[in-house]
């Protein structure tokens, strides 16, 4: 979800990292699913995308459930 939103905004990983207040390597790790961000980081990400953290989480949950049903 983060990767999709980042690309929709036309941001590089470095752009996103700056907006989120985290390191580019951490953005890569979140996008690849190797790590789960803390709630504080989720809030920072949501704010950068001008979304509410809960909405971001629900969208991610729905995406994961959809992937589970279809493959």
* Dihedral sign, Cα of residue 43, residue 35, residue 18, residue 57: negative
Please give the Cα distance from 16 to 45 (Å, whole number).
8
d(CA 59, CA 47): 15
Q: What are the pLDDT digits (tens) for 17-66?
A: 999 999 999 999 999 999 999 999 999 999 999 999 999 989 888 887 88
Task: Give the residue, 8 or 66, on which the prediction is more confident.
Answer: 8
Is the dihedral angle over the CA atoms 31, 50, 46, 21 positive or is it negative? positive
**Class assignment of domain 2-70?**
mainly alpha
Q: 20-32, pLDDT tens digit by residue?
A: 999 999 999 999 9
**pTM for the full predicted model:** 0.83
Q: Which two tokens stand for residue 12?
A: 């590089």
């Amino acid at each position: 979800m983060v990767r999709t939103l980042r690309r929709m905004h036309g941001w590089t990983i470095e752009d996103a990292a700056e907006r989120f207040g985290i390191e580019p390597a951490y953005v890569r790790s979140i996008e690849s699913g190797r790590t789960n961000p803390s709630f504080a980081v989720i809030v920072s990400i949501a704010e950068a995308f001008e979304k509410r953290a809960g909405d971001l989480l629900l969208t991610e949950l729905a995406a994961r459930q959809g992937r589970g049903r279809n493959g």
